[in-house]
Amino acid sequence: MKLKKMIFLTLLGVLMMMFVACDNDSTTEFENNFPQSDMSYYDIDDDHRFYEVTMYEALQLQDDETFNGILYFGFAGCPWCQVAVPFIHEISQEAGVDIFYVSRAHVLREGEWLDWDLEMAWWLYNNGVPNMRWLDEEGALVDVGEEDAYGYRPNINVPQIVHIRNGVIVDSHRGTFEGHDHVGEGDDRHLPEMTDQEQQTLLDIYRRIFSGPTTTEACGIEIDAGCS
């Protein structure tokens, strides 16, 4: 009897391992293999859900019909990103959802504008993400509409947060909120402290992004504040 019990327990253990393996295989490769981001430059604690991905890796989501998650484009030197990240962090903890952080810091270094950046910018623009900024052939920001965009290219303005579901962009938001801009001049130039109502507005925006709309159409809110 003891031998039969040992055999039964052994087989049960093998089956459990098989079920765990199958469950892991059902998670997309995109969600399995990324390190936790260094968020020490932001005002959040170490217990966060930001994971580091490259622009090239993020582009693979165009063909991933199993992915459901949040992409965040930003960099620590952007003052609006500094404001946005703690709120994104709060909602990610509330929702129990990971964020895949695509750093835009490299575009600030001369000669490092990559083809992947341009491809991602076009993908976002062509899939309904509003408020794309445009660059001319010299890389300078220009203010044009779609009908005037010949010879120009879109640029990813940050902070930008995008919810992708089954390879489709279902919601997005750029910047913080309408009218959130620098005050003062020179060394006194800074972003003003937000009111309680403005903080709640930003939380509600990110809560909406994380939950996602019921349709597959982008429904971003028009805003202007943000970094190029």
- Mark residue 226 as left, alpha or beta (left: phi above 0; alpha: psi -120 to 50; beta: remaining): left
What would the pLDDT profile of 8-45 be if each residue is shown by its tens digit? 444 444 444 443 333 333 334 556 678 888 899 999 88
What would the pLDDT profile of 57-86 be if each residue is shown by its tens digit? 888 888 888 888 999 999 988 899 999 999
**Beta pairing class for 160-165 and 50-53:** unpaired
pTM of this prediction?
Answer: 0.74
Three-state secondary structure call for residue 138: coil
Question: Mean pLDDT, to the nearest integer, of 54-58?
Answer: 88
The letter for the amino acid at 118 is: L
Helix extents (H) in the chain: 2-25, 29-32, 55-59, 79-95, 115-126, 196-211
| Rounded-to-integer distance, Cα 220 and Cα 130, Å | 6
Which CATH class for the 52-112+157-179+189-228 domain?
alpha beta
Question: Mean pLDDT, to the nearest integer, of 156-182?
Answer: 86
CA distances from 20 to 8, 26, 29, 202 (A): 18, 10, 16, 39
What would the pLDDT profile of 87-137 be if each residue is shown by its tens digit? 999 999 999 999 999 988 766 554 455 677 888 888 898 888 866 677 776
Crossing angle (nearest 10°) for helices 79-95 and 196-211 = 60
CA distances from 218 to 5, 70, 92, 222 (A): 57, 14, 20, 12
CA distances from 33 to 29, 73, 104, 126, 165 (A): 7, 19, 20, 28, 19
Q: How many CB atoms lie within 10 A of CB 154?
A: 21
How is the chain split into domains, by residue range?
52-112+157-179+189-228
